[in-house]
């Protein structure tokens, strides 16, 4: 029953997002930044509701580590579809997630993700990967943070697997901080008993930001392993 209620809620939310977007245009027809903030609040509220419908509880640590005066690159481990639900609702500013390209083909969902500055990537295409990096750098330069899961896909065993180094070029080229993000417990909500949703306790931890402005070549080379090790430590 919990699964059915959650799915119905998500479907209704996506449908309602169209008139909500229209109202936002009426309120702020010339203020894109204001419209972005309004859609952000709407989606964060929706994710909080999905979280409650799942019956899960979340302990959050390290929110004070997120810089408030500049955009960042969030780097996280990826256990479940619910990672985005528990994470996005707690991010302090507009943040675009990097997702598989085919997700953008889902009606309404793809449109809403574009409104939230999310970017698609085809991991089988080097050109697509390069374009996504360049688009991410441009978003950061315009004040939008980016969130990426450098493992490339959800972990099937719960372990933190190797990070793709290309993900970190976003930060080193944009000269923005990297904020490590560790999530633990989301697999218990869905992945262990898909398609049923079960309640779980989730821990979400934001690590101290890593500045990339003056990194040497060696430091840049070691950055993926450094962040991965930090996330593993935060997971306990």
Sign of CA dihedral 218, 221, 227, 229: negative
Q: How far apart are CA 234 and CA 160, in angstroms?
A: 12
Write out pLDDT tens, residues 86-113.
Answer: 999 999 999 999 999 999 999 889 999 9
Across 228-232, average pLDDT: 98
Q: How far apart are CA 19 and CA 200, in angstroms?
A: 33
Q: Which of the four pLDDT bands, split at 50, 70 and 90, describes residue 1?
A: low
Domain ranges of the chain: 56-235
**Strand, helix or coil for residue 151:** coil
CATH code matching the domain that covers 56-235, chosen among 3.30.300.30, 1.10.10.10, 3.40.1130.10, 3.30.70.360:
3.40.1130.10
**Residue 147 φ/ψ region, left for φ over 0, alpha for ψ in the -120 to 50 degree band, beta for the rest:** beta
Lowest average pLDDT, out of 24-38, 55-69, 105-119, goes to 24-38
- For residue 178, what pLDDT is reported? 99
Q: What is the pTM of this model?
A: 0.92
Sign of CA dihedral 214, 220, 224, 225: negative
Write out pLDDT tens, residues 147-204.
Answer: 999 998 888 888 999 999 999 999 999 999 999 999 999 999 987 777 788 999 999 9
* pLDDT surpasses 80 at 74: yes
pLDDT, mean over the chain: 92
- For residue 31, what pLDDT is reported? 85
Q: Give the CA angle between residues 182, 208, 234 to the nearest 5°.
A: 30
């Amino acid at each position: 029953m919990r699964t059915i209620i959650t799915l119905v809620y998500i479907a209704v939310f996506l449908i309602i997002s169209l008139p909500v977007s229209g109202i936002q245009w009426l309120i702020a027809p010339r203020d894109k930044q204001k419209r972005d903030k309004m859609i952000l609040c709407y989606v964060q509220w929706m994710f909080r509701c999905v979280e409650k419908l799942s019956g899960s509880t979340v302990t959050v640590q390290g929110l004070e580590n997120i810089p408030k005066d500049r955009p960042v690159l969030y780097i996280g481990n990826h256990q479940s579809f619910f990672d985005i639900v528990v994470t996005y609702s707690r991010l302090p500013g507009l943040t675009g997630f990097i997702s598989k390209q085919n997700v953008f083909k889902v009606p309404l969902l793809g449109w809403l993700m574009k409104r939230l500055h999310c970017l698609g990537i085809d991991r089988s295409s080097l050109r697509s990967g390069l374009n996504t990096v360049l688009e991410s750098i441009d978003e950061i330069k315009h004040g939008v943070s980016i969130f990426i899961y450098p493992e490339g896909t959800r972990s099937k065993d719960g372990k933190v697997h190797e990070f793709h180094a290309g993900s970190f070029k976003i930060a080193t080229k944009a000269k923005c901080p990297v904020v490590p993000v560790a999530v633990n417990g989301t697999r218990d909500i869905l992945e262990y008993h898909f398609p049923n949703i079960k309640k779980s306790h989730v821990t979400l931890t934001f690590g101290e930001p890593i500045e990339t402005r003056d990194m040497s070549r060696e430091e840049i080379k070691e950055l993926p392993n450094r962040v991965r090790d930090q996330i593993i430590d935060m997971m306990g």
